[in-house]
Structure formats: C-alpha cells, structure tokens
C-alpha cells in the first residue's frame, strides 16, 4: 500500500507553504503546520536579514519582522495548525519559522508572482512539438504518422504536440494546449518573439498545433480520437519511429467518436478564427469553415454527459460571438438548459449541508466526478452569462454559479486544512476502502478511489475549478471565491503534504516526472496526488516512475495558464 505522510504525524514538525509565494494584497495568506507543537506563535524571517549559518542550522538569531498566532484545525486528516499572515504585504523573500528550529521553504511576496512563471509553462507546449526537431530534446520525430487502424490506409497526421510524459497525441487533451495559447493571446497578448520574429511565438505555435488538429477532421466533419493512443489505451503505439511510412513501426489513428472531442474542436477553431480575423483573414476563414463543418455533424446529436454538455455550451457561445448566427444562439440556450438541469438545486439525500453539485449525465444516477473536467461546467456558465439576452435564463445561470460556489465548494473545502476541493460525492462505498461521512446519506473522498481500473492524480480537477472559481469571483465580486481558487493552485505549487512543487523548474522538492522519452521538461505540471485506501494523499517521491502521480499532462498546463491569465 502507498504510505502517506498523513500517517507520520508523530514525526518532526513540517511547515507547508506555496513555493511561489503570494501577491502582496491578497487575503488568506497562510502556511499549514503538521506535527505536534506546544508553540502558539510563528514568525517570518526576511532572507535579507537572516543570520548566516557558519556553525549549524540557524546558529545565529534571525531578525524577526512578523509574528503571528497558530490556529488549530481538526479535520479528517488529523490535527494541523494554520499560520495566517494575510496582513503582511511587504514585497521580498521570506521563510516562516517556529521556535527558530522548524522552517518553511523560502517564498516571495511580489505582484508578478504568477506571471513570472507563464513563459515557462508556455515553453513546455513548444517543447512538446511532434514532427520536427526540438533542440536539446529530440530530433525530427514521427514523420510517418499515421495509418488508420481499421484498414491500414495512410493519412498525413504529422505534427501537433505530444500529450504527456509519453509520445501519444490525444485530441481531447492536446487541443487544450491550443486553448491555453488562445487565453494568453486574448487576456495578456505579450510580445514574445523567441521562436518566430515575424508573427510572434503565440500565433506561430497556434498554427503549428492546429495544423495537426485540422488533419484529424474527416470528410463528414467528425474529429478523430487520437494518434498513437493504442488499443484501449495501451502502449502499443507509444514509441519513437523510423520516420519512414509503410514500415512495421507505423503508428495508428483511432477514429472512435467522442462528443467532447467534437465540441472542443469547435470551441478551439472559433477562438482561433477570432484571433486571426485581422492578421490573416484567409486562415480565419479556413478555421471557421472547419468549425462549421464539425458543428454540422453534431447539429442533430444530443449530449447527455456533464462534460459534453459543458463543452457544447462553450463551443456554441464562442461560435455565437464569432458569427452572430441565430443558429448558435438557439443551440447555446438549448445546451445551457440541459446543463442547468444537471445541477442539483435542492438539499437531497437526507441532508442540508451541500447542494449545487452536478450529476454525471441526464440519467442523474450518479454524481459528476473526474480528474479533468470537473470545473468546466462552472467555466461554461461564467463564459456564457454575458451572452444571454433573456432575463430569466440569465437569472438561472447566475443562480447556478452561486449554488455551485457557495453551497458546494464552500462547505467542501472546509473538510481539510489545505482547503482542497475533494474529488467528489458518493451515496455508497463503491470500493472496499475509506469514504468519509459528509451529511445524511452523502459520503466523499478527497482523492479518487484506488481499487479501480483507472486512477490518476487530481491536478486538473483542482486547476479547472480554480479557473471557474476565479471567473465566478469576478462575476459575483466575491474575494472568498478567488481565495478558494488560489488554494487549489497553491497545493499544486508546493503547499501540500509532501512539500513538493508539481511544476518542473519551479519551487523545490519536485517529484521526478514520469517522462520516459524526454526526461525533465521545464514548465511541465504533473498529475499530482492520488489517495491511499484510507484516502490520505500520496505522490511518488521515490522515483518509481508512477505515471498516476508524476506524469506530465496537457490539461494541467492549459488550466494553469488559463488561471494565470486571469489573475495576472
């Protein structure tokens, strides 16, 4: 069984804090202290004024510039203490100390805290290019992609980006990298010209990835599922090739239908159309035509899952903004009503503790849980609200945002000392492991059940919700929601039970990534924590190449970048 640090509470004290640090004026700056302590105070030391350690650790007394009181919190993870220093705003580099003996990781207080990481996260996308040489990482690769699995016919599917710590090209996930670039361009529009002096890095990279996405559209408008995804997700195509078509190592195109892929494609093409309308109208016409073709394929198809409906809302909203067509306005309202119908607006299951959560699909027989898209319904609502002209629908949409944020997220983050959004709700123990009672008939796990066929860390679950919560915070003028959003990012950036920053090249104590072909990629973000059978957090810190916790993945990069473009 995985051993979790939560099971080591008798060991020496540990202080966990966001390795990046904090913006000066934000509220809710805190560190989490684990381990027994009789101390009631913590202190902050300015590294510029810190005593030199000629003899041993902290052998000279430090200059204390801030003192605060530890607050005890009892949770399902045991007893912790919180060190809140929200009123400390002075820019600088600091650490937290207790009794001049136990120290936190040094961290910064600075206004551009997250922006300074943005280029690194973006460069990760560039370094994942497939189909050409990436200096320092790999020579030209996969120039023989790919053949259709059903008949062996060759189709040019060269290009795009590798999806994760492997060499596969899943459409569902790599299209999110394109969305991330669109968000940078729309929300910040930095002048980056390291790779392309003429058009700029962002549009050049977007063209590169999108060339592959366009190749994955067949004559009917359907978007194929992946290149090199293997058979039922196995690793049979996850390898380097000889770059020669027609040889034994050729990789396959899987053409299975996935509604999420279709709606993501439409959403992305509409955004790209908007970005290129002025600088390259001909290319914008091409991408809009591709979006319309796939929409034509999806026009008469119904969506039932929360994920597909949410992406359909985003896609139709973007097409409405781009074209102004009543067709997309009508479909947007149709999908939005389905999404609103998937939300539980009443207190059910013999409790009055939480509501506002989503059901998995229109059957409403289970709750919406997952490692990737759990924040997308909230994102879709927030992005759609400004497009609505019907007062009743606007009111319902706004109410749904409030219900999810105030009546679900707010009580759920109170279940643990890090204010982490738990994995999800259950009405029964679906596996023979620990489920925490919440209220009435409801139970929850902080992390996914482990005794299942597929178990993966929850970084994108957290970061997608961070994006949605930050958008909602702006709509509702609610700083508390912005704090909840930030706590999900802070967990990812080191304020967690392993004191481990999950972005390569930032923070300290980084796990070694499950990146078997390229090794360390600066800016890559890992899958993150899974749970033990006792639902305590676990991430591989022993170099076992545990893909579940340490593999890079495109969605993490997308949602992190998206979040950064919002908080700036």
pLDDT tens, N- to C-terminus, the chain (568 residues): 455 545 444 457 999 999 999 999 999 999 999 987 777 899 999 998 876 655 455 556 778 999 999 999 999 999 999 999 999 999 999 999 998 889 999 999 999 999 999 999 999 999 999 999 999 999 999 999 999 999 999 999 999 999 999 999 999 999 999 999 999 999 999 999 999 999 999 999 999 999 999 999 999 999 999 999 999 889 999 999 999 999 999 999 999 999 999 999 999 999 999 999 999 999 999 999 999 999 999 999 999 999 999 999 999 999 999 999 999 999 999 999 999 999 999 999 999 999 999 999 999 999 999 999 999 999 999 999 999 999 999 999 999 999 999 999 999 999 999 999 999 999 999 999 999 999 999 999 999 999 988 899 999 999 999 999 999 999 999 999 999 999 999 999 999 999 999 999 999 999 999 999 999 999 999 999 999 999 999 999 999 999 999 999 999 999 999 999 999 9
Q: 533 — phi, psi (to 5°)?
A: -60, -25
Residue 273: strand, helix, or coil = helix
Asked if residue 507 lies in contact with residue 490, where contact means CB atoms within 8 angstroms, the answer is no
Handedness of CA 468, 474, 480, 482 (dihedral sign): positive
Environment class of 245 (CB within 10 Å of its CB; exposed 0-12, middle 13-18, buried 19+): middle
Q: Which residues contact 94 (CB under 8 A, 6 or more apart)?
A: 21, 44, 45, 46, 47, 65, 106, 107, 108, 109
H-helix or E-strand containing 563?
helix 554-567
Q: From 391, 392, 566, 412, select the one nearest 475 (Cα to Cα).
A: 566
H-helix or E-strand containing 65?
strand 64-75
Quick count: other Cβ atoms within 10 Å of Cβ 429? 12
d(CA 312, CA 559): 18
């Amino acid at each position: 069984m995985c051993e979790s640090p939560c099971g080591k509470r008798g060991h020496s004290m540990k202080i966990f804090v966001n390795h990046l640090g904090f913006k000066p004026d934000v509220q809710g700056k805190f560190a989490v202290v684990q381990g027994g302590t009789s101390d009631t105070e913590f202190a902050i030391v300015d590294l510029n004024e810190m005593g030199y350690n000629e003899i041993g650790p902290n052998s000279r007394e430090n200059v204390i510039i801030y003192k605060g009181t530890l607050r005890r919190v009892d949770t399902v993870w045991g007893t912790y203490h919180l060190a809140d220093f929200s009123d400390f705003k002075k820019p600088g580099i600091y650490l937290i100390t207790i009794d001049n003996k136990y120290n936190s990781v040094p961290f910064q207080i600075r206004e551009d805290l997250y922006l300074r990481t943005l280029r690194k996260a973006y460069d990760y996308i560039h370094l994942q290019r497939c189909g050409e040489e990436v200096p320092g990482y790999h020579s030209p690769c996969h120039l023989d992609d790919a053949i259709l699995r059903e008949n062996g016919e060759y189709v040019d599917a060269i290009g795009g980006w590798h999806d994760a710590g492997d060499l596969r090209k899943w459409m569902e996930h790599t299209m999110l990298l394109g969305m991330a670039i669109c968000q940078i361009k729309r929300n910040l529009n930095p002048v980056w010209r390291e790779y392309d002096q003429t058009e700029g890095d962002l549009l050049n990279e977007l063209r590169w990835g999108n060339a592959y996405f366009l190749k994955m559209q067949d004559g009917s408008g359907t978007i194929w599922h992946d290149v090199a995804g293997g058979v039922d997700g196995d690793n049979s195509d996850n390898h380097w090739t000889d770059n020669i078509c027609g040889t034994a190592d050729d990789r396959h195109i899987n053409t299975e239908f996935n509604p999420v892929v279709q709606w993501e494609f439409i959403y992305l093409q509409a955004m790209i159309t908007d970005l290129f309308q002025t600088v390259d109208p001909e290319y914008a016409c091409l991408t809009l035509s591709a979006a319309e073709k796939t929409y034509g394929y999806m026009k008469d198809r119904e969506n039932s899952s929360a994920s597909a409906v949410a992406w359909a809302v985003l896609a139709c909203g973007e097409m409405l903004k781009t074209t102004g067509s009543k067709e997309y306005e009508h479909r947007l309202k149709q999908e939005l009503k389905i999404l609103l119908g998937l939300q539980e607006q009443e207190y059910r299951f013999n409790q009055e503790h939480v509501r506002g959560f989503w059901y998995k699909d229109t059957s409403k027989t289970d709750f919406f849980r997952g490692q990737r898209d759990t924040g997308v319904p909230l994102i879709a609502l927030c992005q759609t609200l400004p497009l609505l002209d019907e007062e009743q629908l606007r009111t319902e949409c706004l109410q749904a945002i409030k219900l999810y944020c105030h009546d679900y997220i707010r009580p759920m983050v109170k279940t643990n000392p890090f204010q982490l959004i738990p994995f999800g709700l259950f009405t029964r123990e679906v596996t023979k492991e620990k489920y925490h009672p919440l209220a009435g008939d409801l139970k929850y796990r902080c992390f996914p059940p482990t005794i299942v066929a597929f178990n993966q860390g929850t970084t994108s679950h957290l970061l997608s919700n961070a994006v949605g919560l930050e958008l909602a915070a702006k709509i509702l003028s609610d700083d508390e929601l912005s704090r909840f959003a930030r706590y999900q990012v802070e967990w990812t950036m080191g304020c967690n039970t392993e004191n481990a920053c999950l972005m390569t090249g930032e923070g300290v104590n980084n796990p070694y990534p499950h990146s078997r072909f390229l090794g360390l990629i600066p800016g890559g973000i890992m899958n993150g924590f899974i749970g033990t059978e006792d639902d305590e957090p676990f991430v591989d810190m022993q170099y076992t190449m545990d893909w579940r916790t340490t593999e890079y993945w495109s969605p993490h990069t997308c949602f992190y970048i998206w979040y950064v473009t919002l908080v700036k």
